Structure 1
């Protein structure tokens, strides 16, 4: 998107360079099971400023005194976890890069989460791009005045809090074998915390423990990467560990309820030039006649599952629970990233950390490139110059 930097990068690129880059990225870790794109995204200052402004508008909604009241129905009754805190620790906003009526690149909100993303891996990825390719110093993967030292200090504050690293663990169902496990292991290296599968944690009274060298060590804080949607049909797994919905003497980073509060459910409450028209399906009195311009999304799903792209009237009529769906106006991605064989669509995730008692701080970003119908990995399996990457943004 910054023509001079794009031209320079594409001229230096070779398949051998890319293979060396992947080797370096995986060194000290393991083979990454998701596709990493051949290139970063070079984001011009004007687009960066729009991304920042769009994020601030969303945060203004989240910080409203009535936000919890607005989003209370977002939390499924079966998955409401007690002892919710007053704020999420993470905010991630996904923007498709489009063109506005003036022909300028502009962000349009696609998805939002009060849930962690690849907060450690993105730093490793960015450093590896710089190590393996010539990336100009006029662009930066950090935002808001952050550098690596300042970022790691805040990351530690958010994850570990007032505790010792051995009292904090990153937790998922089968953490070492998740697709994003590379982020877990970079986090461990960066912060010194444990990585635990759900079954590694045992409940004694209302406290949680893990075993190390024959000793029971109490957990004080969990860096939660478990998405309840993934285990909704298999709650038996809690019997060998603990049920997060019980009263527990534990601090959550971030509390599981925020996964629901800040999600697709939040989008109908936003009115912005950076947010496509989004409405709860059960609140639509007259179905639009131009359904080809809309997408139908289930509120409670992840990774694009269940999304209906080519909406028909019958699709809407056949939905038994319209209160759990949104109808959203489609956005038209601009193929703004030039690959050797044409334009590629981009999505940029703005990533915030929100320390206890502090303010949300924009720190870094993630980008995804696509030639498919949707951004996700499963829609781009047969293409190159697609996949996960990072935005280097003009200072």
Structure 2
């Protein structure tokens, strides 16, 4: 990590300043953020930054392979297929655990998602940190030479694709109840698109509509999709006027099919120093004897649900649909961030945007999660400090 800025930050930090930061965020929309925000950014040295970029580029090279669709068609067969899939995903989220291997720090790919993350919230979180710790203006959360203005422009272009804002919607399941709704609020304010619940969509033939604040039906031309099918399938109580399997005249900013294609499904294919030994459960001929060194994960779950960290032979034998699970070797997360009371583990999610006609996605910014627990994630770090979601700051 960047020791200069770690020292500067820790000298300036206080619990009161942290509370002021949280209050500053909460006051934006008179809404208390429901997930924990970490006390500090992660100050990333250029060496680690270059490793993260190299790892991302290797993932992207695989996704750009000519046979990528044929390799991942099975992922759609195992789930569902939505019509009118575009040529490539609009968003990428590539998660790396900051690990130790042979005495050296190395990022290891934990997960990759063809799905949007907190693109708007992270933008503002970095600004809040700079506001409360002005010396952080010497650093940047962005990649590829982007700044606040060019970043937001790129994200807006990817979401809207030059359509009028009223014809582009952010679609979610009961957005007011989502843990990430602070990101929706910022998206609505930054970009100007409405936030719409899946139950509010109206299908007429091949067209979709929503009602604006005046009760007028407005044509939907493009959907910024934040719907996770895992959650939708469980919500049998919802009454939908739209079927995702319908062939409708609408563009997707984040077509649902890419959520399945670019997922843990591709991890067994990825080989190299940034990738972890991962095997589809259905391909395992003999259960490893050292199961304490493995994690069992469902392919298409979200936010860590269904993961078994302490795997037993019975857990593997109990899995009926073995082509829906992977067995992944554990990695050694290295506590690397110095807090006032011990060191903290980190996971870095690099966020990328892939504009419609661009040959490749652009790495744009990041999201960092801090942890003191066995697994990364808020629910594994209850009642701890210096944990939660934050942002990585790079040298300019």
Normalising by structure 2, report the TM-score. 0.97
Mapped contact 2:160–2:222 kept (Cα < 8 A): yes
Distance 1:236 1:17 in 2: 43
Residue in 1 that maps onto 2:205 = 205
Mapped contact 2:130–2:137 kept (Cα < 8 A): no
Residue in 1 that maps onto 2:241 = 241
Aligned residues: 393
Distance 1:214 1:311 in 2: 53
Does residue 381 (structure 1) correspond to residue 375 (structure 2)? The answer is: no
Mapped contact 2:169–2:222 kept (Cα < 8 A): yes
Does residue 73 (structure 1) correspond to residue 64 (structure 2)? The answer is: no
Residue in 2 that maps onto 1:37 = 38
Distance 1:105 1:27 in 2: 38
Distance 1:138 1:244 in 2: 46
Distance 2:257 2:236 in 1: 17
Mapped contact 2:76–2:257 kept (Cα < 8 A): yes
Residue in 1 that maps onto 2:86 = 85
Q: How many Å apart are 1:313 and its aligned residue?
A: 1.4
Unaligned runs of 5+ in 2: none
Mapped contact 1:369–1:387 kept (Cα < 8 A): yes
Residue in 1 that maps onto 2:257 = 257
Distance 2:379 2:281 in 1: 26
Question: 1:304-331 deviations in whole A, cap 9, x for unaligned?
Answer: 1111111111211111111111010101
Mapped contact 2:223–2:251 kept (Cα < 8 A): yes
SS in 2 for 1:308: coil
Q: How many Å apart are 1:223 and its aligned residue?
A: 0.3
Q: How many Å apart are 1:162 and its aligned residue?
A: 2.6
Distance 1:19 1:349 in 2: 25
Matches within 5 A, 1:184-223: 184-212=184-212, 213-223=214-224
Q: How many Å apart are 1:222 and its aligned residue?
A: 0.6
Residue in 1 that maps onto 2:233 = 232
The alignment's C-alpha RMSD in Å is 1.2
Question: 1:260-285 deviations in whole A, cap 9, x for unaligned?
Answer: 00110010110110011001011111
Matches within 5 A, 1:89-128: 89-101=90-102, 103-128=103-128
Mapped contact 1:173–1:226 kept (Cα < 8 A): yes
Question: 1:166-207 deviations in whole A, cap 9, x for unaligned?
Answer: 100001010122110000010111111011111221111121
Distance 1:78 1:285 in 2: 25
SS in 1 for 2:279: strand
Question: 1:359-393 deviations in whole A, cap 9, x for unaligned?
Answer: 20000000000011111111111101100000001
Mapped contact 1:143–1:364 kept (Cα < 8 A): yes
Distance 1:58 1:300 in 2: 18
Residue in 2 that maps onto 1:62 = 63
Mapped contact 1:48–1:394 kept (Cα < 8 A): no
Mapped contact 1:89–1:114 kept (Cα < 8 A): yes
Mapped contact 1:115–1:258 kept (Cα < 8 A): yes
Does residue 286 (structure 1) correspond to residue 286 (structure 2)? The answer is: yes
Mapped contact 1:84–1:255 kept (Cα < 8 A): yes
SS in 2 for 1:388: strand
Residue in 2 that maps onto 1:28 = 28
Mapped contact 2:175–2:196 kept (Cα < 8 A): yes
Query: Residue 176 and residue 218 in structure 1: after superposition, are their counterparts in 2 closer, same or farther (change >3 A)?
Result: same
Q: How many Å apart are 1:286 and its aligned residue?
A: 2.2
Distance 2:139 2:288 in 1: 43
Distance 1:378 1:299 in 2: 20
Distance 2:153 2:17 in 1: 32
Q: How many Å apart are 1:138 and its aligned residue?
A: 4.0
Greater alpha carbon shift after TM alignment, 362-371 vs 147-156: 147-156
Q: How many Å apart are 1:244 and its aligned residue?
A: 1.1
Residue in 1 that maps onto 2:171 = 171
Distance 2:36 2:6 in 1: 21
Mapped contact 1:293–1:329 kept (Cα < 8 A): yes
Greater alpha carbon shift after TM alignment, 383-392 vs 128-137: 128-137
Mapped contact 1:297–1:307 kept (Cα < 8 A): yes
